[in-house]
Amino acid sequence: MIVDIATGCVAAVLDWELATIGDPLPDLGYLLTSYPMPGEPLVPTSAMGTAVLEPGYPRRTELIGRYADRTGTDVSEVNWYGTLAMYKLAVLYEYSRRQFNSGVGDPYYADPGLVSSFLAAGEWLAAEDSICSPDLPGHACF
């Protein structure tokens, strides 16, 4: 938490649960898998960011290109990191689902389809050859 020293009140809550220290590519993979694109099925985390589907927001390939240009990082294996993010999220959602089923936790997680959506997205990403496949409309670039 960030606390405002003058008032003693909480100014912000930081959630580092999925953040990493060191290699930034796991964070890039998580960002990209949470960034919805038109025509794609939404996983729960991308469903929370549908504002980027409005005109004017960059597509994933543009984000990846900007990141690579500004950092000099090789992003050719970003699908691996996206796949890792999907499986990590599946585990977290399954844990939360089991917590709810045991009488503790948020009912949002009760639907096992949430976990299944992450697993299906992870399988799809693991099967992709590259970060951008222009021949696949709707699932074109990641």
pLDDT tens digit sequence for 52-102: 999 999 998 899 999 999 999 999 889 899 999 999 999 999 999 999 999
The verdict on residue 98 lying in a domain is yes
Q: What is the H or E stretch that residue 103 is in?
A: none
Residue 141: pLDDT above 70?
A: no
Tell me if 27 is assigned to some domain.
Answer: yes
Is residue 8 situated within a structural domain?
A: no
- Helix or strand (DSSP H, E) at 45: helix 44-47
Alpha helices in 56-135 (DSSP H): 60-71, 78-101, 112-127
Q: Which residues constitute the domain of residue 91?
A: 18-127
What span, in angstroms and rounded, lies between the C-alpha atoms of 56 and 16?
29
Within-domain flag for 101:
yes
Statement: the pTM of the whole predicted model exceeds 0.85: no
Q: How many domains does one find in the chain?
A: 1
